[in-house]
Structure 1
Amino acid sequence: MLRQSSFIFLVLLILVLSACGKAPEAAQSNQGTSAQENNTQSIEHLKGTAVVPKKIERMVVLSAAYIDHMLTIGEKPAGVNVEVRYGGDYLPYFADQLEGVPTVGSADSPNLEAIVAINPDVILIESRTAENTYEQLEKIAPTVVLGNEWLDYEDDTTYWTQDLLTIAEMYDKVDLAKEKMGEVEQRAAQLKEKIAQLDQKKLAYLRVREKNLQIYAAKGHPTNTLLYHDLGFEPTAVTPSEQREDLSMEKISDIDANFVVLEVDPNGQDYLNSMNESSLWRQVPAVHADQVYETDSFWLFKGWGVIGRSEIMDEVQKMIE
């Protein structure tokens, strides 16, 4: 009986010592898991959840809007897309801040080898880019898909801020992003007061393309809502509500605008020359009063970001003065 009791005690002692020996190993394993979790963050996006580093060092960006957002919060991309139709280089209003940043092809046709060479922590793309290249990019690095098609935000005039806040959250800079957004909103409010004092403030936002003229809508895009909602310009009789429309040469005289913003495509110069020779174009009040302001072809990019919207307002300020 004594021998049996001693044997049982010995077995129990071995089990206790064995458990004690494994405890530090288990604790060490848990600490490793905890440390790994503390070094990453989970980002919800249109394709699911991406696990990315908490300290992002190399972000490749395939969107002009997202370049704007990163520069707004003081972060420099590790690689950026180009716009082929505008020369295949940096967009001019970012050029100074992007000096030395590698280009990685267009958003529609990214250069995968160039992206691999950067060894990115994260790749940031729009939903339209994801349609063709998400799977390829995801094999290179965690790929975050933002945006949700241009016309999907109905009457929300602050839609353009959503992706900025998501990107700022990835860098723990949401407060800075909100500060920059507030500065833009304040600037818009001040400019709106000046525009409200104008006796005539109908504006037409036109785009001259290779073979036709288009007029942009009063909403449906952040640039449009900046002009008509945030700044308070009035749409013309032919300004569509939600989507841009073609205007035939015969319809040009119906543009009852006091101001015309004229965006000319790189291949639109011949059509612009035809317009300038037309007596119908000269009947437009803004043309007659020499209130036509030819701008660069980047307003549609600029409307999506703090930097771009600020530049649009700089131009509007000069226009109304």
Structure 2
Amino acid sequence: MPENAEKVVALRPSYFDHLLTIGVKPAGVTAQDQYGGDYIPYLEDQLEGAEIVGSSSEVNLEKILEINPDVILVDDYTASEVYDDLEKIAPTIVLGASSDEERNDPDFWQQDLMKIAKIFDKEDVAEEKISELEEKVASANETISDMENNKLAFLRIREKIIQIYPETTHPMVSMLYNDLGFEPSALTDPEERGDLSMEVIPEMGADHIFLQVDSSGGPENYSSIQDSNLWKDLDAVENENVLKTDFWIYKAWGAIGRTQMVEEAKEYVNQ
């Protein structure tokens, strides 16, 4: 690794979050195809001016070469395709989980954050941000875990299907159920994400529904769902306990995104 690394290219959204958490703005980032080939929305303002170097599925090596970075951060999926080419441009560090155990660890994101912080000699900043987040989580948990009716279902509305996220195996749901204190709905599986038909939706038994609507096809599907009496008759819908989340599936992988999630969840329950 070069000393005093300044220009860094990051090829995964969670790495943008980690860098910005420690006060380092990436010089180059990948775009998100599902958001029109631009910055990931929740970090858009902080990333303004960073060069877009393709997408995770199609990295633009020429753009990276023009940036002449001191270091490149990449996940193992993208590295499997272009690592040798990246290494010719600059020292390339492969981050991310390397086993199912790590992938299922809800706190694994902290390991990547600390590895990135070490590159820039900012471990103390990263540790401080993690501590600040933990304090916010503990405060929110006091409110949420004490609620009488706190069964939650997290849904993802895609172009043609409704998916329900499990209780574990993703940092987002681990935060919701383990850290913040929501109870899983009747249809929330301990480990597996599942597809739901409208006919089984009433079986969720959820007091609260959080959902993310995919930008491609999702809004049309959600509009159709909302017209259904099966949806309208849900307790959570009748009681107006439905929160349309803002990119939580992506936010869950970094301290900035997770902080926003906690603040949004606390604001929701305090309405």
TM-score band w.r.t. shorter chain: over 0.9
TM-score scaled by length of structure 2: 0.95
Query: Equivalences for 1:197-276 in 2 at 5 Å?
Result: 197-266=146-215, 267-276=217-226
Is the 1:125–1:143 contact (alpha carbons within 8 Å) kept by the matching residues of 2? Answer: yes
Distance 1:320 1:150, change over 3 A: farther
Is the 1:150–1:220 contact (alpha carbons within 8 Å) kept by the matching residues of 2? Answer: no
Local SS of the residue matching 1:160: helix
Is 1:160 paired with 2:109?
yes
Is the 2:97–2:103 contact (alpha carbons within 8 Å) kept by the matching residues of 1? Answer: no
Local SS of the residue matching 2:220: helix
1:101-120 deviation digits (Å, cap 9, x = unpaired): 11111111111110000001
> 1:154 Cα shift?
6.6
Identity score, percent? 47
Runs of 4+ in 1 over 2 A off after TM superposition: 149-157
- Corresponding residue for residue 43 of structure 1: none
Aligned partner of 2:30 among 60, 65, 81: 81
- In the aligned structure 2, how far is the partner of 1:268 from the partner of 1:97? 27
The gaps in structure 2 that reach 5 residues or longer are none
1:13-46 deviation digits (Å, cap 9, x = unpaired): xxxxxxxxxxxxxxxxxxxxxxxxxxxxxxxxxx
- In the aligned structure 1, how far is the partner of 2:168 from the partner of 2:99? 11
**Bigger RCO of structures 1 and 2 (CA < 8 A, at least 6 apart):** 2
| Stretch of structure 1 that moved more, 230-239 or 309-318 | 309-318
- In the aligned structure 2, how far is the partner of 1:143 from the partner of 1:248? 44
Distance 1:270 1:204, change over 3 A: same
The gaps in structure 1 that reach 5 residues or longer are 1-51
- Corresponding residue for residue 194 of structure 1: 143
Is 1:111 paired with 2:60?
yes
Larger gyration radius, structure 1 or structure 2: 1
> 1:149 Cα shift?
6.0
Is the 1:263–1:294 contact (alpha carbons within 8 Å) kept by the matching residues of 2? Answer: yes
- In the aligned structure 2, how far is the partner of 1:151 from the partner of 1:250? 33
- Corresponding residue for residue 126 of structure 2: 177
Query: Equivalences for 1:29-40 in 2 at 5 Å?
Result: none
Local SS of the residue matching 2:153: strand
Q: Give, as a single letter, the amino acid of the residue that structure 2 aligns with 1:224.
A: V
Aligned partner of 1:67 among 5, 12, 16: 16
> 1:294 Cα shift?
1.2
- In the aligned structure 2, how far is the partner of 1:171 from the partner of 1:283? 53
- Corresponding residue for residue 281 of structure 1: 231
Is the 2:97–2:108 contact (alpha carbons within 8 Å) kept by the matching residues of 1? Answer: no
- In the aligned structure 1, how far is the partner of 2:88 from the partner of 2:56? 17
Is 1:95 paired with 2:65?
no
- In the aligned structure 2, how far is the partner of 1:154 from the partner of 1:92? 24
The root-mean-square deviation of aligned C-alpha atoms, in Å, is 1.4
